[in-house]
Amino acid sequence: MSINITSHKEKLLEVYRNSFDVSDISNISDEMMNFLKIITDNIDRNKGVYTVLITLIVHKLLEPAQDIRLHQSKMENGFSARTIDTKFITPTLKELGLPSMAESGWLTRSLEQPYPYTLDYKGEISGEGMKEAFLKVIDAFQNDPTITENMLRIILNKAILFKENNLIEIRKLDNAEEISIRVIIDLLKKHFTEKYDTWGGSKLPVLAFYAIYKSLILEVDRYENCRLEPLGSHTASDRTSKSAGDIQVIKNSRVFEAVEIKLDRPIDINMARIACEKIMRFNSERYYILSDKGVLEKDQSEINELISKIKEKHGCQLIINGILPTLNYYLRLISNPKRFFNEYIELVEDDTELKTIHKNKLKSLVEEMKKIKCPQCLKLVSETDNCDGCDKTFGVECLTYRGEKDSEGELAFCGKCEKE
């Protein structure tokens, strides 16, 4: 069966434009509205279900005679729903800024099973009541075409509201404001290590490294003629992921350098082995595994042996280091840390996997940081203090601490008084 990709996109956009207000919908039963609520209340946690439903409904609107439950072409009278999703639905959801999968809803193992989506579907779908809701909704619009478009409008309406509620604007640094590397690192540490009562925070350092690599590619000779692969979903397991790492630097059509980032998890031998598998598969020159928890002590010697073996066998440098120390080093290689910082803010604002709490935390950290400026040079600083020579207030980073002491401790002097 040929698939008209343009018509699928046009249909989705047509229904999307009619989904900002759904108060006119009255032909869906209370029971079915409850099933839809289970799905739309969990869009961020079950994007696979949400994406699959949008794909099936759009195709049903275009091909009313198709039994939508036969979602694989190898099924008798079936069709390739995954192809429609990959080539059309997911890219369009991304264009609209709505929640979306990295590639397709059918990459979710529980939804790719080779069985029709009938009420006795054998695949396991996580989430309380989610499997029943998913199958009941499909059964409803398969058997009653009059409710199909309105079901899609309700799902899209909730996705629009999710996007709007998750839209947090964070003011970037303007041209007159300066920021030191120390302040950036302090702020990132607070943003990464905050105890959030939800998942998603592990993506924050990934966004920071994506931002720093954007600057490295512009400024550092090693990365001349390189480009960054777009960020994928941060929910896939390392072994099943089709990417070399969280960050992929491409040069001459291959993965030149890759970075795998582990927040709140020490690096163990299994992570190192998976990295070696990816080095062999993608032929990288350099591969980083970065963690804020260091290396698992019992695995240290075995990991060191593996690093030596992969270097000897393949030539790739497998580098294990900390998250913040590596960022600190990279920030010293670039000429404009402020550009990096504003890029990080933009990535956090736009990311659809992060929750509102992650974005609001960065917003509050930036607002708090902007309150502390050196009154003399206007640089954003961590602390201010008074010069013991002229008694004016300066940023601590603008002061020189000499060996002289008074009752308060070591004396601090500004540049002018230091020279005198």
* Stretch 84-108: mean pLDDT: 90
CA distance 85 to 101: 10
Task: Give the pLDDT of residue 412.
Answer: 85
Residue 167 is predicted with a pLDDT of 83
pLDDT at 97: 87
Q: Which residues pair with 379 in a beta bridge?
A: 178
Residues 69 and 121 in one domain: yes
Q: Is 220 a member of any domain? A: yes
pLDDT above 90: residue 319: yes
User: Is 131 a member of any domain?
Assistant: yes
pLDDT of residue 403: 72
Q: Write the DSSP symbol of residue 115.
A: S
Position 62 scores a pLDDT of 95
**295 DSSP β-pair partners:** 267
Residue 345 has pLDDT above 70, yes or no: yes
CA distance linking residue 401 with residue 396, whole number of Å: 9
348 and 410 together in one domain: no
pLDDT single digits (tens) 263-318: 999 999 999 999 999 999 999 999 999 999 999 999 999 999 999 999 999 999 99
Domain limits for position 387? 379-419
Rounded to an integer, the average pLDDT of 148-173 is 92
Q: Which amino acid is at 148?
A: T
* Weakest mean pLDDT among 103-107, 174-178, 297-301: 174-178
207 and 285 in one domain? Answer: yes
Whether 173 is in a domain gets the answer no
Domain endpoint, select from 101, 134, 165:
165
In a domain, 71, yes or no: yes
Residue 360, pLDDT score: 94
Are 158 and 190 found together in one domain?
no
Do 264 and 352 have their domain in common? yes
Average pLDDT over the chain reads 90
- Single residue among 331, 349, 369 that ends a domain in this structure: 369
Task: Write a three-state SS string for 1-43.
Answer: CCCCHHHHHHHHHHHHHCCCCCCCCCCCCHHHHHHHHHHHCCC
H-helix or E-strand containing 407?
A: none
Structure tokens at 116: 């029709």
Count Cβ atoms below 10 Å from residue 383 Cβ, excluding itself.
10
Residue 199's nearest CA partner among 352, 42, 40, 45 is 45
Q: Are residues 298 and 398 in the same domain?
A: no
Predicted model pTM: 0.70
Q: Is 99 or 320 the better-scoring residue by pLDDT?
A: 320
Q: Quick one: what percent of the chain has pLDDT higher than 90?
A: 69
Q: Are 57 and 194 within one domain?
A: no
For residues 198 and 317, membership in a common domain is answered with yes
Q: Do residues 243 and 231 touch, judged by C-beta distance below 8 A?
A: no
Residue 404 has pLDDT above 80, yes or no: no
Percent of the chain scored above 70 by pLDDT? 95
Same-domain status, 10 and 152: yes
